[in-house]
Chain A
Amino acid sequence: MERPSLTVRTLPPSVAAPDTTPLVIPTDAPGLGRARPVGPLRREGPAKLTGEAKYADDLVFPGAWFGATIRSTQPHARLIGIDLDDAFDWMRVVVVTADDIPGENIVSLIDDDQPVLVPVGGEIRHQAEACVLLAAPDRATLAEAKRRVTLRTERLPAVFDPLEADREFAHYTVERGDAAAAMETAELVIEGTYRVGHQEQLYIENNAMIAVPREDGGVTVHGSLQCPYYIHKAMKRALNMGDELAVVVQAETGGGFGGKEEYPSIIALHASLLALKLQKPVRMIYDRHEDISATTKRHPAVVVYRSGISATGELVAQEIEVIMDGGAYCTLTPVVLSRGVLHAGGPYRCENVRITGRAMATNTPPNGAFRGFGAPQTEFAAEMQINRIADALDASPLDLRRRWVYREGDVTPTGQVLRESVGGIEVLEAAAAESAFDRTHAQTRAMREGRTEGARTATGIGLALAWHGAGFTGSGEVRLASVASLELTDDGRIRILTASTEMGQGTKTIFPQLVADALGVDYDEVAIAPQDTSIVPDSGPTVASRTAMVVGGLLIKAAEKLRARVESHTGRTFAESYRDAGPMRIDEQFAPYPGEPFDDKRYTGDAYPAFGWAAAVAKVDVDLDTGEVAVRDCVSANDIGRVIHPIMAEGQVEGGTLQAIGYATIEEMKLVDGRYLNDRMATYLIPTSLDAPRLKSILVEKPYSGVPHGAKGIGELPMDVGAPAVVAAIHDAIGVWIHDLPATPERILAAMTGAPMPPPPGVSLEEPAPRTPPIEDLPAGGDKMPFRAPTDPGAER
């Protein structure tokens, strides 16, 4: 039988490619010729490499039904009624509405504003808001049932621009000295308004959750998630369940980056409601379209900035206003804003600072956590200012930072004295040296000045510096009061019990590594319990770059106690004697770090126990005809305190840097009528291997003494510096500043030619665009159509 031709990706020809030097990687593995030991191999690596690792959609539950969500297609409306078509036999499916919720119709988080499902008579506040749930035994029935549900709505006026919104989620002011008076005395004042848009986390595994009802009346959810206890709390409240009835189990998780911090609570509730009503397991597996349409994004922001520089060349005043778009519900917005405000000054000494921030509600899907959590937005603005000041003074951007960067003993806008672990200058020097910044900067300048009319491309180099508070903001860690446990089982095994999740960043490797070191045993002797709320304590959410520092620190303390107890008991070393010493268990609870407690009302004191420091240098080529940017090189130097596992730490830096490059150049959500237009992988583009430069990461160690191992956070830090470095490089190449992210070809060409700028990022256009097909007609969770509908016209970018 003849087979029709396949869609085959052609392999590259073996002819000489642009660079023909073979990569030289020493083969003396596992050291690979590195100066330092590389750390143990990834604990769950073999399972991931053989395909054995079970992600949520890989789990099989016999008899499971498929769930789907019927969502609003209005940005703001009253839900008048839910019509179920009489022509369909509704006995074939299960339908859940707000009336079926046994507890409170609230997704528990910071504020109680978000419903699990919009009730009839209730207010729809964004496109893609969940109103009805369906489950069916097979996908065909589910798809048919979905088409037979109609939401009757009455449209209400919608707000899309946070600058025009009047509903506020949060506001903060940070003040030190007298910024207004100091600005008066300044010799040079640089002002700017910077806008950044939504960014999609685009983990490659979509959100997925499976709810399994139990005989005791409870429900167990298995899913792709970051924070088991956030979901647990949400389930207890909406499902009216006690601690033991609601159980959350993490499946292998294919990336999170903040995107699986809070939305999984909603999916878990939806799947649970269906499963409880049906009394069978229900699979709620989002496809990419639904995942992008409905789940959270990085907050768009507007940052209005004034910097004052004295005649002696000091930074004497900063006046900063931050406005964030929270979307339709509060979610984590106050905390995102808080982090954004606290980082807005950048890592620079300044005696007179006033930062105000407010987060506003718009009729767009709620925004939430994404690596950096407010800081990449405001630090982009901060670094743009510094680079523009250097430009205005005709000073070296490197020298200016050397002069202004925080040193030990300096005081931040909240009055926090930076007593130790202040690596700003070290990362700056490391990145500058590795990239030969001064020399290259002089070369690109000469190239720019010598450029002729016929030039087709321009090359530039750019620098950025940032700080990132490690762990929860302010008194957050004290309130969390996390617990991490270590047990010696009665059969003589060592087991770690924490709720900290593995999503690729290395939790399951570095925890056993830290504990094994503290106990004096081999890495392989330390096991780690599954992230299951019926087994592990609440060690807080896996967010805020807190896992290695905070939970890792608790585990080391627990290990030290366990070791002392066993050794005093047996009179021999732990390693020799632990196998017969159990059962024993240590529960270690968080105790405040040294320093000035943070005052949540006045916004003074130690905002974070310590800061990570990062510098990036990017080199770009700009196509002068098309405005396209190619990032050729990127060096990122990061002070993360003591390095636990160099390869995984570098992996965090490299991955975060490429996400920042995407944020700077191509990643933009476009909205019409409050709906994401490019809500598919074909239209929301992230960097491929061909778009990415070879990333160079440098790890700098300035240990923090507040934790036994000296580690600070790493996950988010590299995300803060990539975008401003790229935009500075674009300026170096073509001589114009791009104030809005991403720096797309359209924005670059507009800036070069003086043509009108495209609309600001993050703000929805008003006109309802023609939509084919509407959300309801597309296969939702778990539905697998063999071939997808053709691309949305108008959604192409």
Chain B
Amino acid sequence: MGHYGEERVVSFEFTVNGERVVVEATGTRRLLDVLREDLNLTGTKEGCGEGECGACSVLIDGALVDACLVPVSQVTGASVQTVEGEAQDGRLSILQQAFLETGGAQCGICTPGMLIAGRAFLSSGTEPTDHNIREAIAGNLCRCTGYTKIIDAIALAAQRSAHQ
């Protein structure tokens, strides 16, 4: 892994949860590490580092992405959304509140990724059926819940959002 030493450190500019950031990093540094270590946004988690678990899910320009697979060079100018952007003004979002009420978070390590996948699903306007929600979170592994209560949470949030 000599490239750590050899690669040039340059600056990258993008927005995270609506705020403009500039980071100094090598181009291949993972977005996940930039978020967690350089920007101290540790809400985004690492479960596998190879695109299998979805614990590192973030939205890049609204698209659901595994941050462990994205080099920082690819987010220049983009808008990145992480779990830290989900609550507004210190209040849980409808989606977070639904997770809390249905029991959609147990150990919580998959939860930031699930919320991000859930957010992408809600924004897509897809009809909140059991099957559609299952497809939307199929890239996010949870070992605690058996998924049922996570699906209930997303369905409940969709329902409440529709009534707003």
A694 touches B103 (CB 8 A): no
Contacts of A45 in B (CB 8 A): 99-100, 105, 108
Question: Chain B: which residue is nearest A292 at the CB level?
Answer: B48
B121 touches A655 (CB 8 A): no
CB-contacts of A138-157 with B (<8 A) = 138-140, 143-144
Contacts of B16 in A (CB 8 A): none
A204 touches B63 (CB 8 A): no
List 22 A–B pairs whose Cβ atoms lie within 8 Å, in order of A's numbering: A3-B75, A6-B74, A8-B63, A9-B66, A44-B108, A49-B100, A50-B43, A50-B87, A51-B41, A51-B44, A55-B45, A58-B42, A205-B109, A254-B45, A255-B106, A504-B105, A647-B103, A655-B143, A658-B146, A659-B143, A689-B147, A785-B1
Contacts of A203 in B (CB 8 A): 107, 109, 143
- The yes or no answer to A473 lying at the interface (CB within 8 A) is no
A143 touches B1 (CB 8 A): yes
CB proximity of A776 to chain B, nearest CB, Å: 13
A786 touches B28 (CB 8 A): yes
A784 touches B47 (CB 8 A): no
CB proximity of A741 to chain B, nearest CB, Å: 18
A29 touches B156 (CB 8 A): yes
A12 touches B48 (CB 8 A): no
CB-contacts of B67-109 with A (<8 A) = 69-71, 74-78, 82-84, 86-87, 92, 96-103, 105-109
A55 touches B83 (CB 8 A): no
Contacts of B87 in A (CB 8 A): 49-50
A205 touches B145 (CB 8 A): no
CB-contacts of B1-55 with A (<8 A) = 1-2, 4-5, 28-30, 33, 36, 40-53, 55
Q: Which of A15-23, A234-242, A527-535 contacts B (4 or more CB under 8 A)?
A: A15-23
**Count the A-B residue pairs with Cβ separation under 8 angstroms: how many?**
279
Contacts of A651 in B (CB 8 A): 103, 106, 144-145, 149
- In this complex, the interface size class of chain A, counting residues with CB under 8 Å from chain B, is 35 or more
The CA-CA distance from A654 to B102 in the complex, in Å, is 13
The CA-CA distance from A431 to B96 in the complex, in Å, is 32
CB-contacts of B111-153 with A (<8 A) = 111-112, 115, 120-121, 124-152
The CA-CA distance from A46 to B87 in the complex, in Å, is 10
Known: A27-B160, A204-B143. 20 other contacts (CB 8 A): A7-B69, A8-B60, A11-B120, A17-B135, A21-B129, A22-B128, A23-B151, A23-B155, A29-B101, A49-B105, A51-B42, A51-B43, A140-B5, A254-B107, A254-B109, A255-B106, A656-B146, A686-B143, A689-B137, A694-B130
B107 touches A50 (CB 8 A): no
CB-contacts of A152-186 with B (<8 A) = none
Question: Chain A: which residue is nearest B70 at the CB level?
Answer: A6
A654 touches B146 (CB 8 A): yes
B159 touches A27 (CB 8 A): yes
Question: Chain B: which residue is nearest A505 at the CB level?
Answer: B106
- The yes or no answer to A32 lying at the interface (CB within 8 A) is yes
- The yes or no answer to A623 lying at the interface (CB within 8 A) is no
- The yes or no answer to A73 lying at the interface (CB within 8 A) is no
Looking at chain A's contact residues, the main secondary structure is: loop
Contacts of B140 in A (CB 8 A): 689
A14 touches B77 (CB 8 A): no
In this complex, the member of B55, B70, B145, B156 whose beta carbon has the largest number of chain A beta carbons within 10 angstroms is B145
Interface residues of A (CB under 8 A from B): 1, 3-4, 6-9, 11-14, 17-23, 25, 27, 29-30, 32, 38, 41-42, 44-55, 57-58, 60, 138-140, 143-144, 201-206, 252-257, 287-288, 503-506, 647-648, 650-651, 654-659, 680-682, 686, 688-690, 692, 694-695, 779, 784-788
Contacts of B36 in A (CB 8 A): 57-58
Contacts of B138 in A (CB 8 A): 688-690
CB proximity of B130 to chain A, nearest CB, Å: 6
A680 touches B106 (CB 8 A): no
Contacts of B109 in A (CB 8 A): 55, 203-205, 254-255
CB proximity of A61 to chain B, nearest CB, Å: 13
Contacts of A784 in B (CB 8 A): 30, 33, 46, 49
The CA-CA distance from A691 to B46 in the complex, in Å, is 23
CB proximity of A717 to chain B, nearest CB, Å: 14
B45 touches A4 (CB 8 A): no
The CA-CA distance from A4 to B76 in the complex, in Å, is 10
A11 touches B136 (CB 8 A): yes
CB proximity of A28 to chain B, nearest CB, Å: 11
Interface size on B, residues (CB 8 A): 96
A9 touches B64 (CB 8 A): yes
B146 touches A3 (CB 8 A): no
Contacts of B142 in A (CB 8 A): 204, 689
Contacts of A53 in B (CB 8 A): 108
CB proximity of B42 to chain A, nearest CB, Å: 4
The CA-CA distance from A684 to B124 in the complex, in Å, is 31
CB proximity of B103 to chain A, nearest CB, Å: 4
B71 touches A786 (CB 8 A): yes
CB proximity of A89 to chain B, nearest CB, Å: 14
The CA-CA distance from A53 to B140 in the complex, in Å, is 19
B136 touches A12 (CB 8 A): yes
Contacts of B78 in A (CB 8 A): 3
Contact residue among A41, A504, A657, A787 (Cβ-Cβ distance under 8 Å from B106): A504
CB proximity of B2 to chain A, nearest CB, Å: 8
CB proximity of A200 to chain B, nearest CB, Å: 10
CB proximity of B119 to chain A, nearest CB, Å: 11
Given contacts A27-B159, A41-B101, contact A11 B137 (CB under 8 A): no
Contact residue among B71, B125, B135 (Cβ-Cβ distance under 8 Å from A690): B135
Given contacts A6-B74, A12-B126, contact A647 B134 (CB under 8 A): no
Contacts of A20 in B (CB 8 A): 127, 129
Contacts of B137 in A (CB 8 A): 689
The CA-CA distance from A256 to B106 in the complex, in Å, is 11
The CA-CA distance from A654 to B149 in the complex, in Å, is 9
In this complex, the member of A51, A60, A206 whose beta carbon has the largest number of chain B beta carbons within 10 angstroms is A51
B106 touches A655 (CB 8 A): yes
Given contacts A46-B100, A647-B103, contact A139 B92 (CB under 8 A): no
The CA-CA distance from A647 to B100 in the complex, in Å, is 11
The CA-CA distance from A174 to B126 in the complex, in Å, is 58
CB proximity of B46 to chain A, nearest CB, Å: 7
A8 touches B65 (CB 8 A): yes
The CA-CA distance from A1 to B101 in the complex, in Å, is 44
B47 touches A3 (CB 8 A): no
Question: Chain A: which residue is nearest B78 at the CB level?
Answer: A3
Question: Chain B: which residue is nearest A502 at the CB level?
Answer: B107
CB proximity of B80 to chain A, nearest CB, Å: 11
10 A-B pairs closest in CB distance: A51-B43, A254-B109, A504-B107, A48-B108, A504-B106, A654-B146, A658-B146, A58-B42, A140-B4, A681-B52
CB proximity of A685 to chain B, nearest CB, Å: 9
B52 touches A3 (CB 8 A): no
B84 touches A51 (CB 8 A): yes
CB proximity of A646 to chain B, nearest CB, Å: 9
